[in-house]
Amino acid sequence: MKVAIIGSGGREHALCDSLKKSSKVNKIYCIPGNAGTDLIAENVKIELNDFEAIKEFIKLNALDLVLVGPEKPLVEGIVDFLEKHNVKVFGPNKIASQLEGSKAFTKNLCKKYNIPTANFGIFEDSKSALNFLKSCNLPIVIKADGLASGKGVYICEKKEEYIEAVKEIFGGKFGEAKQILIEEFLKGEEMSFFVICDGENYKKFSTAQDHKRVVEGDKGKNTGGMGAYSPSRLINKNLEKKILDRIIIPTLEALKKLKTSYKGFLYAGLMIVKGDPYLIEYNVRMGDPECQTILPMLNTDLFEILDSCCEKKLQNVKIEWSNKKSLCVVLCSNGYPDTYEKNIEIKDLDLIKLKNDDYLFHAGTSLKNEKIFATGGRVLNFVSLSNEFVDAKKSIYKNLDTLNWSEGFYRKDIGFKVIDT
């Protein structure tokens, strides 16, 4: 079978790595890919927004399955476009993708169908937003409505902070902002909960905890993700049942009432408050870096899972996992998540000797004249599996020390809630 993965980040490298293990897959393309995917797939230099060129390539090469990695093409309707041309594609359609594409859409859905979430208000201009904020208790959460690569969220503890947040969002920091979301601050612990759906059925697809803040101790600015660990320390049978019964199942049923269905990965970002789950946000794809953290633990053939979803036969597949624990640390360019230099060479990658349960996934990298360069804020993902989180951590930081890339930085406390040292 010939498969294409659309995207260019660490998530897509991890998906390539998982698919290459399948006995059913003999050719993988990555559109456009990165320096890491180039090692295990054929990179195809087509822009993500050029749906027509992507379709022509798929048709010309008679691909059997296409997997869409990032959120932007999903929200823009690439699945609908490709399916109109009889392409077998894994991912949600444009309507279902509004779960991530519009925070207002999701919050209104929650309100209508009694899905537990933080109390909220939606505003279309800065004046009404600021007037509302005057009556709010602090801290308060302010979000840009739309895609912001995980960075359009402000937790404001002072008046000056929420004034600046509103100014930046309506000022276009995250693209054109037609609406702003203001919601109560929930005090609890975050968790990422994943399911996979075929349009009719769903199955659980592991859990993780992401470290979004740039500074140790989960402080500083929000990022796309500085690291993660899996499984979540919070998950248990009772909590899992609450998540499925109160959040996941009602959401899938709500989409059916909108005359659509959900096919793809569904990632629920949750806040667990005194044992009860509240929906913070949905993502309509695998998380990044959660995908890199989770997929190495998957024992079932990923191609079989994806293909069964496209055929509405997910119920016939048994998804099995390793019993090991997984940790991921993200190496970033100096300056991230603000301004950072690009096209800096990454030397000495060949000095890293990965053990059997160690993985190195490329994110913001490119290959030029057989040299690897950093082109993004998040550059490399170091992953390790072990029976204990502490051993996975030791392996990762040993590999990071070996690389010793002075142009980058990483958090040294990923997984601190499950590691005592």
Task: Please give the helix or strand (H or E) that residue 332 lies within, else none.
Answer: strand 325-333
Residue 284 pLDDT > 80, yes or no? yes
Averaged pLDDT for residues 350-359: 96
* 45: Cβ contacts below 8 Å, ≥ 6 apart: 32
Specify the CATH number for the domain of residue 151.
3.30.1490.20
Averaged pLDDT for residues 335-349: 95
Same domain, 258 and 169: no
403 inside domain: yes
Same domain, 11 and 51: yes
391 inside domain: yes
Specify the CATH number for the domain of residue 258.
3.30.470.20
134 inside domain: yes
Same domain, 177 and 75: no
Averaged pLDDT for residues 374-395: 97
CB contact at 8 A, 283 and 106: no
106 inside domain: no
Same domain, 396 and 348: yes
Measure the CA angle with vertex 411, ends 409 and 412; round to 5°. 115
pLDDT tens, residue by residue, 118-171: 988 999 888 999 988 988 889 999 988 867 555 578 889 999 989 998 998 888
Specify the CATH number for the domain of residue 377.
3.90.600.10
| pLDDT score at 235 | 96
Same domain, 305 and 206: yes
What the block records as the tokens of 365 is 């990298």
Same domain, 132 and 201: no
Same domain, 276 and 168: no
| pLDDT score at 78 | 98
417 inside domain: no
Average pLDDT, the chain: 95
pLDDT tens, residue by residue, 320-332: 999 999 999 999 9
Give the count of domains, the chain.
Answer: 4
Residue 313 pLDDT > 60, yes or no? yes
- Domain termination site, one of 77, 93, 109: 93
Averaged pLDDT for residues 351-380: 96
- Domain termination site, one of 297, 316, 335: 316
| pLDDT score at 145 | 81
Residue 421 pLDDT > 80, yes or no? no
Same domain, 13 and 37: yes
d(CA 319, CA 317): 6
Same domain, 256 and 375: no
Same domain, 253 and 207: yes
108 inside domain: no
- Domain termination site, one of 144, 169, 184: 184
Which residues form the domain of 172? 119-184
CA nearest to 15, candidates 266, 296, 320 = 296
The model's pTM is 0.93
d(CA 257, CA 204): 22
Averaged pLDDT for residues 362-385: 97
Residue type, 198: D
Same domain, 241 and 336: no
List, as one string, the DSSP characters of 17-75: HHHTT-TT--EEEEEE--TTGGGTSEE----TT-HHHHHHHHHHTT-SEEEE-SHHHHH
pLDDT tens, residue by residue, 98-133: 999 988 899 999 999 999 999 889 998 889 999 889
33 inside domain: yes
Measure the CA angle with vertex 89, ends 245 and 270; round to 5°. 30
Same domain, 311 and 330: no
Specify the CATH number for the domain of residue 54.
3.40.50.20
79 inside domain: yes
